[in-house]
Structure 1
Amino acid sequence: MSSELGLGLTSLFVVVLVAALTPVLVGLFGRLRIPQVVVLILGGVVIGPEVLDLADPDSISLLANVGLGFLFLLAGYELELAVFRHRAGRLAVAGWLVTVALAIAVVAALAALGAVRAFVPVALGLTTTALGTLLPILRDNNMLGGSFRPYVLAAGAVGEFLPIVAIAIFLGSNGRFVGLVSLLAMGALGLVLSLVPRLSRGGRITRILKEGEHATSQTTLRWTVALLLLLLVVANDFGLDVVLGAFVAGVVLRRWAPGNVETLERKLDAVGYGFFIPIFFVSSGMGLDLQSILDAPARLFLFFLLLLVVRGLPTLLVYRTALPRGRRFELVFIVSTALPLLVALSEIGLETGHMLPENAAALVGAGVLSVLVYPAIAVAIDRRLARTRDEAGEPRP
């Protein structure tokens, strides 16, 4: 066994061990209600090169990227495109546009003060929402039911998808025009792939896929993974961020998947949340630059507050006629939660040399803190609203 393979296996074992211990730790300290995502990231910090140095992040980078792909695949799969024809979708887009205007103004002020060098990555970072990260938290707390569901999913999807589109156009490795053309080509490919099932519906291939979906061949799961990897490869070759390919894969999959869709969802959850996605979060923690955060902690708290002010607070105004006050405050903290795209934006900023290392670390650190704090506040608000309705004898929406 080569030393490189041995290092990779050792690192993978340590990372998987952290992932396996995480639900146990969360269960033991259940009263604190810490999201598993936060424990995974903190576990990555502990085993990473900044603390114990038990694992090498580079040796698991491929698996971490596939984990990122699964995260956005499942987020895209949750998105119902029909929602954008309804009020929830229109309000989500309006809220994001207000956020963009605020982000430009705030980051321009920071740039004028010399605190920010990478204007576009930081501004885009303040417009993001970590829908993929939020989904397990919202599911575990039964917050995706009733009339509130479309508003949450639409706001989260817009806060995830539109920043990805902006990244492809403004931060693509081949320039803005080529980035726009590549983005359109990616969308066209997604549309073509979504039409494939119609061409084979009722045919022999469809029967084969349905017959094998629960057998050892696991046909639907294998084709789903193949679709994900195909779009990741295409996105990478086009100079786009892999999260765009994964998100498109999820959107396509919703119309593409043959057989029992609910069964496929459970299989994807098992493969994604059971293995690949935890590796991504642990790897993110391993790559966190603690020294930069310790040298300039004020930056982290500044970005943490700006995520709430820039991304969250416009919700109170935009949704004032659509949601009651309690639900609006709940949505404020949901949409203010960000992380995966902050990691991607920081990596892009560092690779191009446009982002200061301390800002990159602070942005990711703010994302980690947002995942720890903001969903917990949203859950607390949701439970308080539920208790109030129960005491009044009102049905839950």
Structure 2
Amino acid sequence: MSLISFAIIATLIALAPLLSSLTRIPCVVVEMLLGTLATYIGIFHENESVRYVAEIGFLILMFLCGMEVDLKSFKTLKNEGLFKNIFAYFCILYTLSISLVLLQKLPFIYIVIFPIMGVGMIMTLIKEYGKDYIWLNLALKVGIFGELLSICILVGINGFYTYGLSLELSRTFGVLIIFFIFIALSFRFFRVVFWWFPTLKNLIVPQEDQSNQDLRFSAMLFFIFISIVLLLKLEVALGAFIAGMIIATFFGNRHLLHQKLTSIGFGFFVPFFFVHIGTTLDLKALLSNPQLFKDALMVVTGMLGIRLIGCFLVFRKFLGNIKNVVLYAFSDAMPLTFLIAAATLALQLKIITQENYYAFVMGAMIEGIVFMIIIKLILNYWKKEKK
């Protein structure tokens, strides 16, 4: 039965680019829609094997996101004065989120949900549109900080609702801080090592190699860091993200390796994840309960609204025009993977109900589908000079 499920998803993955080119709808949107349709008409049934592969797809997406993080490029943030702006942006997001939750008398988990960030969908935008847009480059840089902050918050929520205000919660945060310090020191150490022994890089990841040593080394890093964070009881995506950062920082000039990993990820595993996301949406439940759609729209409008306000107040001058501000807000308001991760965690901890979970998933789907289409329409029909 599981092989049939894999065959169905593989078929949908193969059909998605064809339908995307015919309809001009972004490929990731088509993948999610096909997954939703497959579940709705009853040809796909969930099983453990599919969930595991989808989880690997999510982690590979986080790995590829980490590969876009060139730590050297972040030195320019200080020269551009963006560090203070990014800090101010996050302060505005969380202030607006708290105000919105108090005014609307929403559950406190929404304080975390509205500003949550992830770079998964930003990666798909970069894959589709390249890196030549100022708003997309800014979205990636801010998204990286936001994703790390979101991971820390998810770890904190899990610890608080699992252990309460106890020494165990302090231990969880202590482990997280020590882990970050260890990673920072390791980066500095290996930077010195590779500076003194430059041939070591070529030994680890050869320029020309028939045995695919580069892929083997990347796979080793990927699974080792995932295993480390699992042992430390931290958010698993953090391990995959840091493994990708190591590749980008120390082997960023290995363009062939980047192409290989991107082809493997976006050729199967990442589309598998997005199709699986589509299959988690229960259209029958949605159609029988319109309130779920209203709740999903509230999540979507809240997430977009606070970003529009925050971006206009903080990044208006840097981005140069309103078009870039709007594009940035839409690109930043699609934390599909982390929104669903937060909803799943909240459901497991019984912070939200099953109906709330469906609303969050629907909200993530609306953002991933509608916002991607809106971005495409703005780029095509809002004629402004690209900056």
1:8 aligns with 2:2: yes
Greater RCO structure (CA 8 Å; 6+ sep): 2
C-alpha distance 210-299 of structure 1, shift in aligned 2 (>3 A): closer
Shift of 1:299: 0.8
C-alpha distance 206-156 of structure 1, shift in aligned 2 (>3 A): closer
State how far apart, in whole Å, the 2-side matches of 1:335 and 1:226 are. Answer: 31
Residue in 2 that maps onto 1:283: 276
Structure 1: gaps (5+ residues): 1-6, 390-395
1:347 aligns with 2:344: yes
Residue in 2 that maps onto 1:232: 226
1:320 aligns with 2:311: no
Shift of 1:384: 4.4
1:244 aligns with 2:238: yes
Q: Which among 131, 134, 139 is matched to residue 119 of structure 2? A: 131
- Asked if the contact 2:126/2:136 (under 8 Å) is kept, the reply is no
- Asked if the contact 1:290/1:361 (under 8 Å) is kept, the reply is no
Q: Which among 30, 35, 58 is matched to residue 39 of structure 1? A: 30
Tell me, what secondary structure is at the counterpart of 2:318? coil
1:74 aligns with 2:74: no
Shift of 1:279: 1.5
- Asked if the contact 1:169/1:177 (under 8 Å) is kept, the reply is no
State how far apart, in whole Å, the 2-side matches of 1:381 and 1:285 are. Answer: 25
- Asked if the contact 1:93/1:158 (under 8 Å) is kept, the reply is no
Structure 2: gaps (5+ residues): none
C-alpha distance 328-167 of structure 1, shift in aligned 2 (>3 A): same
Residue in 2 that maps onto 1:184: 177
State how far apart, in whole Å, the 2-side matches of 1:20 and 1:239 are. Answer: 36
Shift of 1:148: 4.3
1:1-397 equivalent positions in 2, closer than 5 A:
7-30=1-24, 34-48=25-39, 51-81=41-71, 82=74, 83-85=76-78, 86-110=80-104, 112=105, 116=107, 119-120=108-109, 122-142=110-130, 144-145=131-132, 147-172=134-159, 176-191=169-184, 193-194=186-187, 195-196=189-190, 198-199=192-193, 202=197, 206-211=201-206, 214-257=208-251, 260-294=253-287, 295=289, 296=291, 297-323=293-319, 324-384=321-381, 387-389=383-385, 396-397=386-387
State how far apart, in whole Å, the 2-side matches of 1:192 and 1:388 are. Answer: 44
Residues 72-129 of structure 1: CA deviation (Å, up to 9, x unaligned): 122222223415434334323321221111112222344x3xx53xx23x32221123
Residues 304-330 of structure 1: CA deviation (Å, up to 9, x unaligned): 211111233321111132222221122
Shift of 1:291: 4.4
State how far apart, in whole Å, the 2-side matches of 1:318 and 1:41 are. Answer: 33
C-alpha distance 51-160 of structure 1, shift in aligned 2 (>3 A): farther
The alignment-based identity, stated in percent, is 22
Shift of 1:278: 1.2
Letter of the 2:371 partner, please give it: Y
- Asked if the contact 1:308/1:333 (under 8 Å) is kept, the reply is yes
State how far apart, in whole Å, the 1-side matches of 2:124 and 2:297 are. Answer: 25
Residues 190-214 of structure 1: CA deviation (Å, up to 9, x unaligned): 3355344643663775443343x54
C-alpha distance 270-357 of structure 1, shift in aligned 2 (>3 A): same
C-alpha distance 159-292 of structure 1, shift in aligned 2 (>3 A): farther
State how far apart, in whole Å, the 2-side matches of 1:377 and 1:284 are. Answer: 20
Letter of the 1:337 partner, please give it: M
- Asked if the contact 1:134/1:375 (under 8 Å) is kept, the reply is no
Tell me, what secondary structure is at the counterpart of 2:234? coil
- Answer with 372-381 or 359-368: which moved more: 372-381
Shift of 1:133: 1.5
Residues 201-249 of structure 1: CA deviation (Å, up to 9, x unaligned): 63775443343x5434211222112212122222222222212222222
C-alpha distance 17-192 of structure 1, shift in aligned 2 (>3 A): farther
Residues 10-38 of structure 1: CA deviation (Å, up to 9, x unaligned): 222211111111101101212xxx22222
C-alpha distance 53-383 of structure 1, shift in aligned 2 (>3 A): closer
- Asked if the contact 1:72/1:243 (under 8 Å) is kept, the reply is yes
Tell me, what secondary structure is at the counterpart of 1:79? coil
State how far apart, in whole Å, the 2-side matches of 1:334 and 1:43 are. Answer: 22
- Asked if the contact 2:323/2:384 (under 8 Å) is kept, the reply is no
- Asked if the contact 2:135/2:327 (under 8 Å) is kept, the reply is no
Shift of 1:348: 0.4
- Answer with 374-383 or 276-285: which moved more: 374-383
State how far apart, in whole Å, the 1-side matches of 2:299 and 2:135 are. Answer: 28
Letter of the 1:187 partner, please give it: F
Letter of the 1:352 partner, please give it: L
State how far apart, in whole Å, the 2-side matches of 1:363 and 1:204 are. Answer: 49
C-alpha distance 103-62 of structure 1, shift in aligned 2 (>3 A): same
State how far apart, in whole Å, the 2-side matches of 1:13 and 1:197 are. Answer: 44
TM-score calculated relative to the size of structure 2: 0.87
> May I ask how many residue pairs the two structures share in their alignment?
371
Letter of the 2:350 partner, please give it: G
State how far apart, in whole Å, the 1-side matches of 2:112 and 2:246 are. Answer: 25
